Structure 1
Amino acid sequence: MNEQKPIKVILVLGLFSFLSALSGSSTSLAIPKIALSLEISSGLATWVLQSGLITTTIFLVAFGHMGDLLSKNFIFFSGGIAFTIGSAITGIAPTFSLIIIGRIIQAFGSSMIMANSMGIVSDYFPDKKRAQALSYISMFISAGSISGPAAGGFIMSVSSWRWIYLINVPLMIAVLIFGHHALPIPKVSIKQLKSATQGANWMGQGLFTAGIIIFFLSGAIFQSRSNWLIGLITLVVGGALTIYSFYQDDVANLPWISPKILHNRPYLVSIMALLLVMLVNSVSNILLPFYFQSYGLMTPFQSGLLIMLQSLVMLVLSPFAGYLADRVNRQLMTIIGLVILTVSQIGYLLYPAGMNLTRIIIPIVINGIGMAFFLSPNNALTMGLVDKSLTGIAGSLNSFSRTIGMTIGISFGSSILFALLPNVDQITPALGETFLSAFRGVFYVAIAISSLASIMVFVRYLRAKKTA
C-alpha cells in the first residue's frame, strides 16, 4: 500500500460516515416541520426517524455477511448509491408514504455503509494501527452529529426542510466519485449475487425482522402510555423473537452469522459492552432536553449547545484515545472509559434544582471523555478478536449493537421517565422536585447498567491476564 492510500481510505470512509450521521441528526430536527408541512400529527411524523432506524438495524447483519462473501468495498459503495437515491426521493416526495419509502431506501444504504466500514478498516490497516484509524472514523461521525442540528437549523431557516435531504445528493455524488478512485470496486455479476444469497437463512432473517419491528413498537406503546400490559407483552415477544433468531441462525445450514463469531466469548463481551454503553449514553441524550428546556426553560439553541459539548469532547479526544489504544492495553483502556462514563452518570444524578452551569457542564464533558476512551479501544479490540475473513460480519454486529443500544436508550429512557411521572403529560418548572426525582430515578438505572458493563470488561481483562 502506498503512503497516500491509507489517507484516501480514511477520507472515503469518514466522508460517507459524516454524511450519514449528518442526515440522521438533521432528521430529528426536521420532524416538527415535516408534521406541519404534510398536516400530520407529530407522533406520525416521528416515523420518518423511526422507519430509518428500524431499517438500518434489520439489515446490518445481512450486509456484513454479504460483504464477507462478495466484497466489502462493493457493498459499501452500493450503500452510498442507495443512500443518494433515498435522499432524493425523501426530498421530493409529495406524500408521507413516499417520504417513508425514501427514508427506508436511504436507511438501506446506511446499513450497507455501517456494516462494512469497520471491516474495510481491518482490511487496510494492521492491528497495531487499527485503533487510530477507527478513531478518525469516529471523528467524522462526531462531526456529523455535531453539525446536523446546526446545518439543519440553518437550512430550514432559509429554505424548506426538504433541502436537509436534497443537499445529500450532490455531496454524496462527489464522495462517490472520489471513492471510486480511492477504493478498488470489483464488478459483481447477477450470478454472483444469486450464488451468495441462494440457500441463505431467510427464515432467520424473517424472525429477526419481525422481532426488531415488534420490539420497536413496544417503545411506541410505552411512550403513548395507552396500555402498559400490551407494551410489556410486545416488548417480551419482540425481544424473545430477536434472541431466538440468533439461535435459529446458529443451527441453520447456511447461517448469516458464522458460528465462530457467536461462540467467541471475548468478542461477544465487546459488542455487549458497546450495546450497554450506547444505551446509557442515549438515555442522557433523550433526558437532558427535558431538564434544560421543559424544566429549566432554556431555549432549544442553548440546550443544543450544552448537549453538543459531549460530541465536541469526543471529536477532540478520539484521535488521542486511538493513539493510546495502539500503544497500551486496549482492554484496560475500555475499563477506564467505562469507569469515567459511570462517574458522568453520577454527575447527572446530582443535577441541581437551579440551572447551575458549572454543575451541568462537568458531567457532560466527563461523559464525552468516557465515550472517547471507550469507543476507539473497544472497536479496535472487537475487530482484533476475529479472523480476517469474518471482519465484515464482525463489524456489522458491532454496528448493530451500537444502533440497538441507541434505540433502546431513546425509547425506554423517556418511557421510564414518564412511568415515574404518572398523570403528567407536559414537563414544566412547576413539577419541581417531582420531576427531579423521576429524572434521578432514570439515572440510577443508567448507573447500574454502566456498572454492569464495567464489571463485564473487567472480568474479561482478568481472564485474559490469567491465560497470558
Structure 2
Amino acid sequence: MLQDERDFRLDWSARLMFVAILSSIFLAAMDQTVVSTALPTIARDLHGLAKLPWIVTAYLLTSTVCLPVYGKLGDLLGRKYLLQSAVLLFLAGSALSGIAQNIDELILFRALQGIGGGGLLVTAIASISDFIPVTQRGRYQGLVGAAFGLATLIGPFLGGFIVETLSWRWIFYINVPIGIFSLFIIGAAFPKPVSTAEWIMDVWGTVLLITGLSATVLFASVAGPVLAWNSPALWLLLVLGLGSFTRFFVFEKRHPQPLLPLAFFRFRTFTLSVTLSFFVGVAMLGSISFLPIYLQDVRHFSPTMSGLELLYLLIGMLAMSILAGRRISHKQRYREFPILGALLITLALAWLSRLGEQTPLWHIDGALVLLGLGLGMTMQVLVLSAQLAIPHRHLGVATSTVTLFRSMGGTLGVAAFGAVFSGLMAGVASSAAHAAMIVQTLRTDFLIAASFSLAAFVGAWFLEDMPSLLKKRQDNDALL
C-alpha cells in the first residue's frame, strides 16, 4: 500500500461529500421500512385494501429496474447531477404520495418515488469510489452498511410514531427536509463532472432490460396471491421476461457502449460477486420476511414486539459492517469476510430451521445476531469485490449490477418462499393445526434458504483477494 493511501484522511470537502452520500443512503433505506407500519392505516383511509400490496410492489419494481440505467449514466456523465436528479425524483414522489387522494394515485406516486430511490442507493454507493482510494474504500463502505442498517432499524419505529401522533401522510413529508439537506450538500461538495468521452445511449438495450426486469419482478410479486399459478397471464409475464432477457444479451454483444458489458462476466471475481449477492438476497429476504408471522401467530407477539425481535439481526449487521470495513482497510484483504459471513448465515438459518412452537427466545435471538453478523460480513464486501474486479471507469455499472442481483434475489426469494408458505397453509382450519403448520412451513423455508447461503459459502472460496485484483486491474482495463 502506498504511504499516502495508508495515511489517507478525508478533507473538509470530502467529508461533506461523504455526509451527502450517507444522508442519501439513509433517506432511501429508511423509506423501505417506514412505510410498512402505515399500510393498515393507509388502507382504511383510502379504502384500498385490495390494492394495498401494490404500494410496496410499485416502489420495489421501479427502484429495481432503474438500477442498471443509473449505474451506466453515472459512469458516462458523472454522478453529481445524476444523484441530484435522483433526490429530486424521490422528493417529488414523496410529496405527491403525501397528498394522494386515492389508492391509485398513491401507487403511481410510489412508483415515481422508487425511480428516485433506486438511483439514490446505487449512485451514492458508487460515488464513494470517486474520491476515496481503493485501498481505503472498505472502511467507508462499512460505514455505508452501518447507515443502511441504522435506517432500516429506525424506519418501523419512526413510522409507527408518526402514524400514531400525526398522520400517515407525514411518513412521506418527513423525507422532504432530509432530501433538501442532501440536495444542498451534494451541490456544495461534489465537483462538477467532466465529460471525457462521447457516448451512445443504448436505447434498445435499456428498453429490453427494463422490460425483462419489470416482467420478472411482477411475476414474482403476483404469483399465487394475485394471479393463480394456472393463470395464462402469469406465465405470459414470465415468457415476456425471459424473452426480453434473451434479446437483451444478443443485442448487448453488438452495441459499442452496452448498458451492461457482457465482457464483465469474463472476470471470475465479478461474476462470483453478483452471483453470491443473488444467493445472499434469496437467503436473507426469502426467509426472514416470514419470521414475524411466526412471532405473531404462534408466539402471540404484538406487531411492535415482533419488530423488536428483529433488532438482534440489525445490531449484528450494524456492528460487523463497521468492523469488517475497518479490518479490510487495515489488512488490505477482504476474501475471508464473505467466506466466514456466508458460513455464519448458513449456520444461523440452519439453527432457525429447528424452530418449534416453544423454542426459547434466546435461541431465536442468538440465531438472528449470528445472521446479522454474517450479513455484515458479506453485503457491502461483495460490492467492494465487484468494484475491484472492474476498471474504475465502469464502477457505476459494477455497483448497480451487484445491487440489482441482490434485489432480484430478495424479490424472487420472497415470492418463492411465499408460494411454499401459501401452498402448505392451504386448507388448515383449526388454530392448533395453523400454528403447527406455520412452524413446519418456516422450517422448510429456512432449510431452503440455508442451501442458498451454503452455495454462497462454497463460491466465496473462489474469490480473488485484493492484492491479486489490484495487480490485474490494468490488464482488465485493456480487455474493456
Residue type at the aligned position of 1:81: L
Q: Is the 8 A contact 1:333 1:373 kept in 2?
A: yes
Following the alignment from structure 1 to structure 2, what is the Cα–Cα distance between the partners of residues 351 and 376? Answer: 29
5+ long unaligned stretches in structure 2: 1-8, 473-480
Q: Is the 8 A contact 1:318 1:373 kept in 2?
A: yes
Moved more, 301-310 or 262-271: 262-271
One of 280, 301, 313 as aligned partner of 2:304 = 301
One of 255, 280, 292 as aligned partner of 1:289 = 292
Following the alignment from structure 1 to structure 2, what is the Cα–Cα distance between the partners of residues 375 and 230? Answer: 36
Q: Is the 8 A contact 1:221 1:228 kept in 2?
A: no
One of 92, 112, 119 as aligned partner of 1:112 = 119
Task: Tell me the secondary structure at the aligned position of residue 230 of structure 2.
Answer: helix
Q: Is the 8 A contact 1:61 1:256 kept in 2?
A: yes
Following the alignment from structure 1 to structure 2, what is the Cα–Cα distance between the partners of residues 366 and 428? Answer: 31
Alpha-carbon spacing, 1:403–1:391, altered in 2? closer, same or farther (3 Å): same
One of 267, 270, 273 as aligned partner of 1:267 = 270
Matched, 1:13 2:21: yes
What does residue 206 of structure 1 align with?
Answer: 207
Residue type at the aligned position of 1:35: A
What does residue 92 of structure 1 align with?
Answer: 99
Following the alignment from structure 1 to structure 2, what is the Cα–Cα distance between the partners of residues 277 and 160? Answer: 36
Q: Is the 8 A contact 1:283 1:410 kept in 2?
A: yes
What does residue 64 of structure 1 align with?
Answer: 71
Following the alignment from structure 1 to structure 2, what is the Cα–Cα distance between the partners of residues 445 and 30? Answer: 31
Q: How does 1:69-468 map to 2 (within 5 A)?
A: 69-186=76-193, 196=199, 200-224=201-225, 227-230=228-231, 233-234=235-236, 236-237=238-239, 240-241=242-243, 243-253=245-255, 254-326=257-329, 327=331, 329-424=333-428, 428-460=431-463
- What are the Cα deviations for residues 340-378 of structure 1, in whole angstroms up to 9, with x where unaligned? 110010111011221511111111010001001112322
Moved more, 218-227 or 353-362: 218-227
Q: Is the 8 A contact 1:313 1:368 kept in 2?
A: yes
Give the TM-score normalised by structure 1. 0.91
Task: Tell me the secondary structure at the aligned position of residue 228 of structure 1.
Answer: coil
Task: Tell me the secondary structure at the aligned position of residue 310 of structure 2.
Answer: helix
What does residue 3 of structure 2 align with?
Answer: none
Q: How does 1:42-57 map to 2 (within 5 A)?
A: 43-57=50-64
Following the alignment from structure 1 to structure 2, what is the Cα–Cα distance between the partners of residues 246 and 367? Answer: 36
Moved more, 151-160 or 219-228: 219-228
Alpha-carbon spacing, 1:332–1:436, altered in 2? closer, same or farther (3 Å): same
How far is the alpha carbon of 1:397 from its aligned partner? 1.0
Q: Is the 8 A contact 1:10 1:137 kept in 2?
A: no
Moved more, 1-10 or 95-104: 1-10
Residue type at the aligned position of 1:402: R
What does residue 5 of structure 2 align with?
Answer: none
How far is the alpha carbon of 1:427 from its aligned partner? 9.4
Alpha-carbon spacing, 1:260–1:220, altered in 2? closer, same or farther (3 Å): closer
Following the alignment from structure 1 to structure 2, what is the Cα–Cα distance between the partners of residues 434 and 171? Answer: 44
Following the alignment from structure 1 to structure 2, what is the Cα–Cα distance between the partners of residues 324 and 238? Answer: 45
Alpha-carbon spacing, 1:226–1:407, altered in 2? closer, same or farther (3 Å): closer
Following the alignment from structure 2 to structure 1, what is the Cα–Cα distance between the partners of residues 269 and 430? Answer: 43
Following the alignment from structure 2 to structure 1, what is the Cα–Cα distance between the partners of residues 458 and 244? Answer: 25
How far is the alpha carbon of 1:207 from its aligned partner? 2.4
How far is the alpha carbon of 1:7 from its aligned partner? 2.5
Following the alignment from structure 1 to structure 2, what is the Cα–Cα distance between the partners of residues 245 and 340? Answer: 39
User: Identity across aligned pairs (percent)?
Assistant: 23
Q: Is the 8 A contact 1:205 1:245 kept in 2?
A: no
Q: Is the 8 A contact 1:210 1:241 kept in 2?
A: no
Alpha-carbon spacing, 1:355–1:405, altered in 2? closer, same or farther (3 Å): same
How far is the alpha carbon of 1:236 from its aligned partner? 4.3
- What are the Cα deviations for residues 163-192 of structure 1, in whole angstroms up to 9, with x where unaligned? 00011112211221122212124499xxx9
Alpha-carbon spacing, 1:108–1:133, altered in 2? closer, same or farther (3 Å): same
Aligned residues: 458
Residue type at the aligned position of 2:454: S
Task: Tell me the secondary structure at the aligned position of residue 168 of structure 2.
Answer: coil
Moved more, 295-304 or 408-417: 408-417
Alpha-carbon spacing, 1:2–1:430, altered in 2? closer, same or farther (3 Å): closer
Residue type at the aligned position of 1:204: G
Residue type at the aligned position of 1:438: T
Alpha-carbon spacing, 1:181–1:461, altered in 2? closer, same or farther (3 Å): closer
How far is the alpha carbon of 1:2 from its aligned partner? 5.8
Alpha-carbon spacing, 1:311–1:427, altered in 2? closer, same or farther (3 Å): farther
How far is the alpha carbon of 1:317 from its aligned partner? 2.1
Moved more, 396-405 or 93-102: 93-102
Task: Tell me the secondary structure at the aligned position of residue 96 of structure 2.
Answer: helix
How far is the alpha carbon of 1:95 from its aligned partner? 2.4
Q: Is the 8 A contact 2:313 2:369 kept in 1?
A: yes
5+ long unaligned stretches in structure 1: none
Moved more, 263-272 or 359-368: 263-272
CA RMSD after TM alignment? 2.6
Alpha-carbon spacing, 1:181–1:366, altered in 2? closer, same or farther (3 Å): same
Following the alignment from structure 1 to structure 2, what is the Cα–Cα distance between the partners of residues 332 and 235? Answer: 40
